[in-house]
Chain A
Amino acid sequence: MTGLVVAEGLTRRFDPRLSLGDRIAALLGAAVETRPVRAVTDVSFVVRQGETLGLVGESGCGKSTLGRMVAGILPPTSGTVRIGGAPVMRGGRKTTTRIQTVFQDPFASLNPRRRIGKIISEGPLAHGLVTRARVPAFVAEWLARVGLDPAVATRFPHQFSGGQRQRVAIARALAMKPDILVCDEPVASLDVSIQAQILNLFLELREALGLTCLFISHDLSVVRHVSHRVAIMYLGRIVEVGPAAQVYAAPRHPYTRALLDSVPRLRLDDAAVSFRPIAGELPSPLAPPPGCAFHPRCPRASERCRRERPELAASAEEAAVACHHPHEDPVA
């Protein structure tokens, strides 16, 4: 399968930073954490031209780490990300402006001491996408495009609400004229009515600019709304991937199914609700369970799941699942 973005065997480990004292204490048997965190392990996927791939998972599953590697912000421990065949990073440095990121928290991602106009124009100026003389018009154009009054270019981030700041963050990313946008929980910190405004803006700009997107979120309904395909992550690996409609209607991995079942749905009748939570807790990424990482919480787990890790195997056209005992494929 070819794609605009091709990620192959991406792995990211975070080793604890140990001082000499820590090392000696560990040798003497003190409780010093010396194990690495395996945030992302051997993840491969493609994002095709014009497509939005949704990346879903609970906190600590590695979805943000994966997004940062794809965006060329964080070097992988091993594996590569290519855009149109060219690597995103070389020697630990990002080599392209074709991919840009919108982060979750617009309070942290905008420099509080810069004016909005400068925040938007800094990147394009540095990369020669706009001449200094044209900066005011360029900034005004982008502010209008994300639904802000061009007159706000001289203001500072603290003068804006969360939703407005996220509009600025979107303008900053798109002003770099990227082909690909990584959105890391772009609406998670926003109120429901503002979230709808930002999602609409995203859909509108995606269409107008023909963007290819990696959309990361823990919110299953948001991901369903914006994605063509979805990938579900659990403890650093993709456990299921496929067309959004298919994965949501007939999930094949027991984790995907349990996750979808556990989300409270808007109840419009007066019938009693029975919750179907997933049993147990998320295991620590310091010590992922052997075999399939989901087996301690899985109703379908067998002896084999405890010993042998299932590979992500193509199960149908465009879909793949990493499970020894997947649910029936409705298409096959």
Chain B
Amino acid sequence: MSAPLLEVRDLRTHFLTRAGVAKAVDGVSFSLGRGEILGLVGESGSGKSVTGFSLLGLVDPPGRIVGGSIRFDGRELVGLPPAEMRALRGRRLAMVFQDPQATLNPVLSIGAQMALAVRAHEAVSERAALARAAAVLARVGIPDAARRLGAYPHEFSGGMRQRVAIATALLHGPDLIVADEPTTALDVSIQAQILAEMKSLAAESGTALIWISHDLATVSALADRVLVMYAGRIVETGPVGAVLRAPIHPYTRGLLDSLPAMAAPGQRLRQIPGTAPSLLAVPAGCAFAPRCPRADAACGAPPPEARLPDRLALCHHPIEVAA
């Protein structure tokens, strides 16, 4: 196997707040191959978005990457001078955010802001930049793209705006796109359109994709591998079908059992008791232990790795599954 496109080792991103140190990401490691789709799943406050922001060097104070390494195509991104990071961001690494309303500039036409993004990295004429913009807009399924370059964001629907944001991310044919809950704000029927397009775009262009979401169903339909986060740490990772069919970690199991689709209509759902811990006071040892049905005294110590071929969970009492 060739070297992975992205290799994250023991990444730690902390927020130094007045109330204490919030360990939003605390020792996350994973790798990603070219063209691979990784689903990053977790509930609010699990650190999944901060992980995404860390990859692109977009963590603002009081947040800071306090340790670990992010190797992207052989290059270390942690500690990279801002100018060099800017040269990479948008060109080889791109991001799509949850709310296209907030990420598009409302006073620039779609064409003008996309041309700016093109020319930020390449010395081409305005005309050539606009032609490139029209071409990628057409690729993400915006009809009559060349004519719509003059339109402003408010003239587009939510789904169309998210397509523009995705098209902007695609402008330079990046190696990696990090998408943070890109379809959460959209309606079901529009969400399916975007998912279908992302999947075929990733396959066509060989772009690797990190899809950050709280929605297991979306991730199961899109991703090759899944990574489940809880309280700033990875609890389980592996091929998406295998993990969701037979999770090793009790948290992944609990998350699945919480879904209404997993119970007969009208029956009680198997809920996870309690709430996620504050990131200011993550329990020592296994952070999930206070809510875990399998927890015992051993869980006060940091959880060991439970490995299966191609799979990993961090747990003292992993659920037995057939390899």
Contacts and interface: CB of A to CB of B under 8 A. Distances in A.
Interface in B20-47: 43-44
B18 interface: no
A295 to B, nearest CB: 15
Interface in B241-285: 241-242, 244-245, 254-263, 265-266, 268-273, 275-276
Given A191-B44, A259-B188, A225 B239 contact: no
B268 A282 contact: no
Nearest to A268: B245
Interface stretch (B79-87, B98-106, B211-219): B211-219
A155 B44 CA distance: 24
A272 B273 CA distance: 34
Interface string A209-241: 000000000101110111100000000000000
A273 B203 CA distance: 13
A160 B265 CA distance: 30
B221 A275 contact: yes
Contacts of B159: 281
B261 to A, nearest CB: 5
B109 interface: no
A245 B261 CA distance: 13
Given A220-B188, A281-B190, A273 B265 contact: no
Categorize the interface residue count of chain A: 35 or more
Contacts of A113: none
A220 B261 CA distance: 10
Contacts of A268: 220, 241, 244-245
Given A225-B263, A226-B266, A277-B192, A193 B258 contact: yes
B187 interface: yes
Nearest to A225: B260
A263 B217 contact: yes
B157 A267 contact: no
Contacts of A245: 265
A115 to B, nearest CB: 21
Contacts of A204: 268
Given A221-B259, A273-B221, A193 B272 contact: yes
Nearest to B199: A275
Given A225-B263, A266-B244, A196 B188 contact: no
B310 to A, nearest CB: 12
A195 B124 CA distance: 50
A263 B192 contact: yes
B195 A264 contact: yes
Given A193-B255, A200-B271, A264 B245 contact: no
| Most B Cβ at <10 Å: residue of A224, A269, A275 | A275
A263 B263 contact: no
Given A58-B188, A195-B258, A268-B241, A200 B218 contact: no
A262 B189 contact: yes
Contacts of A225: 260, 263, 265-266, 269
Nearest to A261: B192
A281 B191 CA distance: 11
B308 interface: no
Contacts of B273: 197
B196 interface: yes
Nearest to B258: A196
Interface in A235-266: 244-245, 258-259, 262-266
Contacts, number: 138
Contacts of B190: 277, 281-282
A263 B188 contact: yes
Nearest to A59: B187
B125 interface: no
Contacts of B263: 225
Interface string B180-196: 00000001111111011
Interface in B186-243: 187-193, 195-196, 199, 214-218, 220-222, 239-242
A258 B220 CA distance: 20
A199 interface: yes
Contact of B196 (A191, A270, A275, A282): A275
B98 to A, nearest CB: 14
Given A193-B255, A265-B217, A200 B268 contact: yes
Contacts of B254: 193
Given A59-B187, A218-B188, A222-B260, A281 B157 contact: yes
B321 to A, nearest CB: 13
Contacts of A86: none
Nearest to B246: A268
A300 interface: no
Contacts of B189: 58, 258-259, 262, 277-278, 282
A222 B188 CA distance: 14
Contact of A266 (B188, B199, B216): B216
Given A264-B217, A278-B189, 13 more contacts: A192-B258, A194-B275, A196-B260, A197-B271, A204-B268, A218-B188, A221-B260, A226-B265, A264-B215, A264-B222, A267-B244, A268-B245, A281-B159
26 contacts: A192-B259, A194-B275, A196-B257, A196-B269, A196-B270, A196-B271, A203-B266, A204-B268, A220-B188, A221-B259, A222-B260, A224-B260, A227-B265, A263-B217, A264-B215, A264-B217, A265-B220, A266-B217, A267-B241, A267-B244, A268-B220, A273-B221, A277-B193, A277-B195, A278-B193, A282-B157
Interface of A: 58-59, 161, 163-164, 191-197, 199-200, 203-204, 218, 220-222, 224-227, 244-245, 258-259, 262-270, 273, 275-278, 281-282
